[in-house]
Chains A and B, each alone.
Chain A
């Protein structure tokens, strides 16, 4: 409730509160997490992981803005590199799996159990 009040008060005076951005990043993070946990299509799972990484990136940029330090932005730059590398290897794995099994649903891959 207090934040809804802040909403109207802050409009003309101070920057957008930090918590607004954190709410956005948290929501995106959880949507990504749900995607990883509930979807069966491996491609969509990989995309959900990208969403989670992006949520962390939003955090870094927001904190970098509010802390007046460039470190967060540098970190985001590196996370993007890592995400690109991970996506490349991940998609290669999916492509060769598809060649061998002709499916991309992850519960088809259960040769090994407890």
Chain B
């Protein structure tokens, strides 16, 4: 971007007040030097509200996915969960991943599931018993484990060096398509190739299995 354009844009940004301002200025300045320090991203009240909405709906969607009687409903609730999770990603400045989440998970994978559910006889599936007889035992065990997990998360170390203490300035990384792409095709080239081979294998495997 040329010097002039940048000046115009920064002028515009000064005059217009909108929530995403901070992000755009940071994105601009990132072009100049990579080591430049940015001001810590200030979360506003609406971020917390958005977080609460996204996370509540995500958890609700997950619960309904698992408990729904009919697989069709499960698929739809799962798609909803994925959309909410993509909202969480956007809150955490992972914009590229948020979009990919919608495109790949809520789009491709869910359509695949929906297709299979439609392909098989849904009515027959829906009328049968849904849970294993040992489900209550699993539920109790899982709740105990869950409690343990939550205790671990809220564990505060007596001395310095714990999980939240190592964090000083957060949110200095922006998961834009450019950043992700640059890293992916330089540092993570080999995993990228392996992932592509994995996809090829999955295509071949799926065709071999599903072909009559």
**A interface residues with partner B (beta carbon < 8 Å):** 3, 10-12, 14-24, 26-28, 30-35, 37-41, 43-44, 46-48, 50-51, 54, 57-58, 61-62, 64-70, 73-74, 76-78, 80-89, 91-96, 98, 103-105, 107
Contact = CB atoms under 8 A, between A and B. Distances in A.
Given A16-B47, A32-B66, A77-B180, A82 B198 contact: yes
Given A30-B146, A34-B142, A87 B112 contact: yes
The size bracket of the interface on B is: 35 or more
Contacts, number: 236
Interface of B: 41, 43, 45, 47-48, 51, 55, 58-59, 62-63, 65-66, 68, 71, 74-75, 78, 81-82, 85, 88-89, 91-94, 96-97, 100-101, 104-105, 108-109, 112-113, 116-117, 119-120, 124-125, 128-132, 134-135, 138-139, 142, 145-146, 149-150, 153-154, 163-164, 166-167, 169-173, 175, 179-180, 183-184, 188, 191, 195, 198-199, 201-203, 205-207, 209-210
A78 B93 contact: no
B112 A51 contact: no
A16 B167 contact: no
Contacts of B175: 61, 64, 70, 73
